[in-house]
Structure 1
């Protein structure tokens, strides 16, 4: 066996085949692997299929340096085709770093390489009951006891479905740990936007496996590939997923997508203050071409803050809907068909709006169809697609010259004609695989950086053109989010915060989410909130029929830094005076419901919105999310009913109960000036809690602070506290309301 050792880990590699056979934590005296089981050393995907076979293996260990030990592993797959893995252990560090490459002088096509493979991970705590995997899939998912709940070729993090990003992951890390019993951190430190899959699943041995699949940038014969960025593996103590997120944040915030600095420090001309500071609620999918002014007025009877409206897709000149049509070239888009009463009413209330566009869907039978046909993105077929989604839609490639020119012209024209406040893209970079096999678009035939950078270019060029036309900053948003677009996008739509009463991201865990064995975590927000990209989430309605989970979901959305989204894509708006919008006037043929607008629920959202734009704004909009305080929280059963999705989805008309905390809590820091602790009571009874505030945990600049209790924008001074002091605080949280404990 080859042995590499740093100050914390001992890595054992099989000298016979190069597979990882041991990963021993010297401090905890624990081997995370069951080394007696067989394991693949690598998996190479060729145009002809996947293989882990080879005809010759060699290895050498270089321990001549006191600072590092290096193992070089080489597998000759067949003459002219060789896989090389390099592992580096630093004596003074906790990291193990894996690099890899494929040398190819044959007619074979290299599609990608899976390496390293850390297979046969066993339970950390007894029977795995306190084991967790936290993954950056869909901005953050936590699964308890993955060894129990994952299935080989079933539930797990492998070939994930929507959203694509890094095969479903918004960032490039995950962690597997036993609560307070240690664990492992896995990350790709890639600052160049390469395409990859972050896998953590159950293997055919019935054990867990962590691996990274790297897509080839150039998928042609005689072309190899080099994975120049490190895959980092190190230990964690098992303190929770925040521990891994803190490690990743130290690397991630030094990358180019954070180079402009914290959003609060960005020049006024380069950000939308109204989006982050004035908007209290957002709506999504209200018809653009039909008069919905009565609903805008009704919302504002109870919601006193401005609202941000992403209007539905039905504003284009021809057809843009959810069932039988999307636009092609310019003549299909213009002139626009926004109903003037909608725009007038939006402006009357001080609201803002963005049109919905299917960004990269293109009707090749429509205007400029031949140019669209030539620009179509060509995806791999069969298992090489590496996605549960099958990509049957006509999507155009972002690197194609016509698409790049059209993307700018389309929205420059939109800005000129409609003077929109913002632009929103559905079916865009964050939910399309970064691969194109067409050789006429001007990019390498393959996957990864060229496609991602083309998306970035299109966003930046289009935004610049819209800003020039408008004479003001025009924020841009998309469906879902990926860290590499953080500096070019201003907001994103998510739905996972509404689970189990929401569709799309997370549906591969749809059976684990209602039971609480899988749950949403604010992983992306924790790493990146102060750098921008406002989250819109909740997938809500102002109707009583959706159930009492509404109160929890809405509060969590706000206290995790987002805007609650009232969504009307697949179902009618709330009935006003017995009237709801009709399916004949909608872009999706929904079933009528007749569910009335609830004034009480609208006021509840209005209350939360005031926290967002009021005393809580500098924290929720611009602050750094902190680890929450530890205190006793009860749980309650909340009922839910989900009808706002495609009628063919399994979730349609599902209902149930969900056990959730009666208090939603979050902690935030604003610059190095102050911290604030938010508490939302989501039940009908008053709740009393006791929390410990330890100022030694926070990196603040002053020596003395004042603790202030805030409720309904009323401030009550409680006590003074020093930078090196800790104090227990008793708090009372009124029914279905939010309080803040600010230390300033």
Structure 2
């Protein structure tokens, strides 16, 4: 056999295990759910990826490379080498129990002399994907910077492009509809860790077929998932980030997955969840965790209300502390449930000024007010400005901020300068022409002095009566890469960024709880690895056409909630902004927080009088939320597992969201389905319109239980009232739900007689 051809080796018995050849130079890896065809060129090429039972190949007509290597060059432009550039390759496949194993090799790269790549795959008997590992021999120590694997060049459309979607792990989750239509001819979108990647999979699919791509990293390495639209194809790849010092041998530190996807986005999330719930961050459910305070599990409304007032030029003009208690009492009475005030502007200097937090703003008047709030059950809550130590505020209420020098040994060092890294955050309001910039240094989470600093912050907050703290502005879920050789880590990017950050959170939380069992630590935005180290997450499930959901064709999906709701509490961010005008958009935002199982939230920021003037529709939706949480629906909406939602016909409403002129289409009745810790099944419904709505339902247990019959109750939210619908009903059970304008309801199913 010639040296430059593909060697195919099939062991005896391979055909019996579902591995078959379709012709010379072709190998098929196959089970009951997936078929992958590798074809001879000079080295293996992925010719087909076929999820079953659809039988539709999702790979581009000209086949797909299997990986791409990126090397640094002297001109600053990376050199990319993909698997098709290998002059030689082999493919070997053999049975492995009820499944198969495959090995692919590639060598003879003209532009990467001496490099050899080995891919090892395992397809279990009933798995929808192949688990892959990659190793690179690099005897010349060429400057290899990134490895893109798995890598698949998919067809530009999957049949009718109208139902094609991309599923993305952008914090709470994003669904990008019809990328063939909504994206330009070339477009690239990456979800990175550290960064906005909250979970480790993405997919490109329609109801019948598609591609599933996932990392399986349990440690927190630098990585990304990318979708890239090119002319005639859609690329999907997972990227490993390598150390700057090249090694003669490198192996991927975690496995990856490449396989098929189809159905609703929840069907694909189910594939990932089977792996995810076996990881350390899912060791205990919320119902099993006694370390999270009961008051938080009750689902209080998080109310963002600044303690500073401002004049017409947006300069600080005074303190809101004297009016705060009355403000909160009024809100609690109007919405009918507990309130936790989040207090922006509490810091010594301007809002979000990190580092020199104390003495807090207007401390002498603040102390008795904070004590009063605690005495009345309001539990004050503040954000820390993450790992930042601000040394200068520019613009409004600006000036130099002292004190950073005493922490110089704990700051991130920039590789370019050998000095503390400077981060400039521009918080100017677009279009207003004002200046509000922060110039900050950054704590390295691995530095010994960092823990001491944050313990001191927790100490002083506790002394003031503040025991709910959020690590804000660390949305990446890790620390910043640091070039110091004095912090106990190798200089440059590395695993320490995530591991040291998790250790810092664990230390803050343990220390805070040693001071008070009521202490809580929250984090801005979602990361699966952080679940055991926190009491709560701050997320913006309700936001659309914004930040991580701003790409063309994007709309939100509760992906993180679907995967992890029974393991992690998330509150509704800084909340929809209360206002006096009638706003279907704000009502929808509040309803989204309810139906996706967030704790309620509403904000006024520094427009404190807006809460008293809030439109009755907004108060009604907050009362809906609190009303349901006062019933057994809380077991589902706070502690339960999200299930596939019921499907039923509903009116479509048109909303104006963001700056886009395109209408945002939403269902008039939002819905979700749940399973409580004790096994009951619940269905939530919220009418977001000011018109009565009717839903013709086929009630069942959503596959979470196999009861032949069920007792069914209906809970109305405001005022909270429960009534039996039927007893011993055979499932599925037909029922027509009538909802008044802006009404919320919850239907509970339990086994007959329990």
TM-score normalised by length of structure 1: 0.83
Match of 1:174 in 2: 202
Match of 2:295 in 1: 274
User: Is 1:195 the counterpart of 2:222 in the alignment?
Assistant: yes
1:600–1:353: structure 2 CA closer, same or farther, 3 Å change rule? same
Match of 1:490 in 2: 535
SS of 1:168's equivalent?
coil
User: Is 1:506 the counterpart of 2:506 in the alignment?
Assistant: no
Match of 1:645 in 2: none
1:74–1:656: structure 2 CA closer, same or farther, 3 Å change rule? closer
Contact conserved, 2:195 with 2:475, CA < 8 A, in 1? no
Alignment of 1:40-119 (within 5 A): 41-46=67-72, 48-53=76-81, 57-65=87-95, 67-75=99-107, 78-79=112-113, 82-90=116-124, 93-104=127-138, 106=140, 108-119=142-153
User: Is 1:212 the counterpart of 2:241 in the alignment?
Assistant: no
Cα distance in 2 for partners of 1:212, 1:434 equals 21
1:461-505 superposed Cα distances (whole Å, 9 cap, x missing partner): 1111111122x14111111010000111122222351324xx533
Match of 2:569 in 1: 533
Match of 1:588 in 2: none
Cα distance in 2 for partners of 1:377, 1:335 equals 34
Residue in structure 1 matching 2:257, options 215, 232, 240: 232
Contact conserved, 1:2 with 1:61, CA < 8 A, in 2? no
Cα distance in 1 for partners of 2:269, 2:611 equals 45
SS of 2:638's equivalent?
helix
1:392–1:173: structure 2 CA closer, same or farther, 3 Å change rule? farther
1:407–1:274: structure 2 CA closer, same or farther, 3 Å change rule? same
Match of 2:395 in 1: none
Question: Aligned-pair distance for 1:15?
Answer: 3.8
Residue in structure 2 matching 1:305, options 324, 328, 337: 337
1:463–1:170: structure 2 CA closer, same or farther, 3 Å change rule? same
Contact conserved, 1:549 with 1:658, CA < 8 A, in 2? no
User: Is 1:242 the counterpart of 2:292 in the alignment?
Assistant: no
Alignment of 1:251-400 (within 5 A): 251-259=275-283, 261-267=284-290, 270-279=291-300, 281-287=301-307, 290-291=320-321, 292-293=323-324, 294-312=326-344, 314-317=345-348, 319-322=349-352, 325-328=353-356, 339-340=366-367, 342-344=369-371, 346-347=373-374, 349-363=376-390, 366-369=402-405, 371-372=407-408, 375-376=411-412, 378=414, 394-400=441-447
Match of 1:10 in 2: 36
Cα distance in 2 for partners of 1:468, 1:299 equals 32
Match of 1:386 in 2: none
User: Is 1:142 the counterpart of 2:175 in the alignment?
Assistant: yes
Cα distance in 1 for partners of 2:364, 2:146 equals 46
Question: Aligned-pair distance for 1:674?
Answer: 0.9
Question: Aligned-pair distance for 1:356?
Answer: 1.2
Question: Aligned-pair distance for 1:412?
Answer: 2.9
Contact conserved, 2:541 with 2:556, CA < 8 A, in 1? yes
1:710–1:94: structure 2 CA closer, same or farther, 3 Å change rule? closer
Contact conserved, 1:71 with 1:88, CA < 8 A, in 2? no
Contact conserved, 1:478 with 1:491, CA < 8 A, in 2? yes
Alignment of 1:445-484 (within 5 A): 445-470=491-516, 472-484=517-529
Contact conserved, 1:195 with 1:434, CA < 8 A, in 2? no
TM-score normalised by length of structure 2: 0.82
Cα distance in 2 for partners of 1:152, 1:434 equals 34
Contact conserved, 2:701 with 2:749, CA < 8 A, in 1? no
1:583-629 superposed Cα distances (whole Å, 9 cap, x missing partner): xxxxxxxxxxxxx4335532431232221233321111100111111
Match of 2:685 in 1: 679
Contact conserved, 1:498 with 1:538, CA < 8 A, in 2? no
Contact conserved, 2:642 with 2:674, CA < 8 A, in 1? yes
Moved more, 33-42 or 683-692: 33-42
1:504-541 superposed Cα distances (whole Å, 9 cap, x missing partner): 3323x2xx3xxxx3211111111111112323247412
1:619-640 superposed Cα distances (whole Å, 9 cap, x missing partner): 1110011111111011112345
1:573–1:505: structure 2 CA closer, same or farther, 3 Å change rule? farther
Cα distance in 1 for partners of 2:286, 2:632 equals 18
Question: Aligned-pair distance for 1:675?
Answer: 0.8
User: Is 1:132 the counterpart of 2:165 in the alignment?
Assistant: yes
SS of 1:628's equivalent?
coil
Cα distance in 2 for partners of 1:11, 1:338 equals 72
User: Is 1:566 the counterpart of 2:602 in the alignment?
Assistant: yes
1:247–1:414: structure 2 CA closer, same or farther, 3 Å change rule? same
Segments of 5+ residues of structure 1 without an aligned counterpart are 382-388, 578-595, 643-650
Q: Kindly tell me the number of residue pairs found equivalent between the two proteins.
A: 675
1:436–1:369: structure 2 CA closer, same or farther, 3 Å change rule? same
Alignment of 1:620-631 (within 5 A): 620-631=637-648
Alignment of 1:592-741 (within 5 A): 596-639=613-656, 658-695=664-701, 697-699=703-705, 704-711=709-716, 712-721=719-728, 725-741=731-747
1:393–1:199: structure 2 CA closer, same or farther, 3 Å change rule? farther
Contact conserved, 2:592 with 2:670, CA < 8 A, in 1? yes
Moved more, 427-436 or 727-736: 427-436
1:13–1:450: structure 2 CA closer, same or farther, 3 Å change rule? farther
Question: Aligned-pair distance for 1:564?
Answer: 3.1
SS of 2:281's equivalent?
helix
Question: Aligned-pair distance for 1:449?
Answer: 2.9
SS of 1:9's equivalent?
strand
